[in-house]
Every structure is written in C-alpha cells, then in structure tokens.
Structure 1
Amino acid sequence: MEWTVGFPDLSATEFPMLWALTPYGDAVFNQRQIPLLLAELERLPAACGGEWVEQDRELCRVVERGTHLYLWFVGD
C-alpha cells in the first residue's frame, strides 16, 4: 500500500503539512515547518501510519539539528 493512500481524507486544517504531500508532486519543508510536521505525525490516524512515519521523524530530527537544511519529498 502506498504511504500517501489516506492523505486525501485528512483535514487540510488539521493536517496542512501532510495534506500537501502527494505521490506525484514535490514538497519541501524548512526548519521552521519541521515542528509542525512532527506534531502532525504524532496525531496521525493509525490507518495512515506505517514504517515511513518513524523514518520521517528521523529525517525531521536531522533537519532540526542542522543549519540551512530542508526535508524534501520528491514525487513521481
């Protein structure tokens, strides 16, 4: 199952960071957006979860610890 399968059902107001991700488009998160993304991951419905959630958290931590770093999601 594709990791973004449940994203269209997420509320754009409750999950604006995750809602913006699509399997076909690129998305970039800067250091100021990372805490918002992490907060959304914490309250993500189980149906949308999976191994990718912990991987994403670790990538977020890398961005938080660095300088001038971005988290990029590259679509198809």
Structure 2
Amino acid sequence: MSSAVDKAVAALEMLPEDMQESAADYLLMQARKFRALKSAVGEGLADVEAGRTVPWDLEEFLAQARQETKP
C-alpha cells in the first residue's frame, strides 16, 4: 500500500468505531468530487486547445442580463 493509503487507514483506525464508517464515506465522497472536477477541467482544457472557446466579455454579459430583466 502507498504511504497515503497507510496514513488514511491509520487515521480511520484512530477514530471511535461508530465514527469510522461516516469518516470513510466522507473521504470517498471527496475523492469522487475531486475526480469529477479533474475530469471537467480536462474537458475544458481540451476545448481551449481545440479552439472551441471564445473570450468572455463581462461588461457585455452584464448589459445583456440587464436588458433581459427590464420590465
């Protein structure tokens, strides 16, 4: 096992038994979120490299949003 895995296991074992399951679930949830974020960033970078993006103009966006919300 890797050093990080050993540390995680040791940390979980230090917790009271009734807390171990929820702590492990939390760690797993965070790992899944990280993996999803990493994938989304990779997709975004691929879009940039392929030229599928355009510069974003904040002022233009705000002007358009204000126009759409006028009564």
Q: Scaled by the length of structure 2, what TM-score is found?
A: 0.32
> Which has the higher relative contact order, 1 or 2, with Cα contacts under 8 A spaced 6 or more apart?
1
CA radius of gyration, larger in: 2
Greater share of residues in strand: 1
Greater share of residues in helix: 2
Q: Scaled by the length of structure 1, what TM-score is found?
A: 0.30
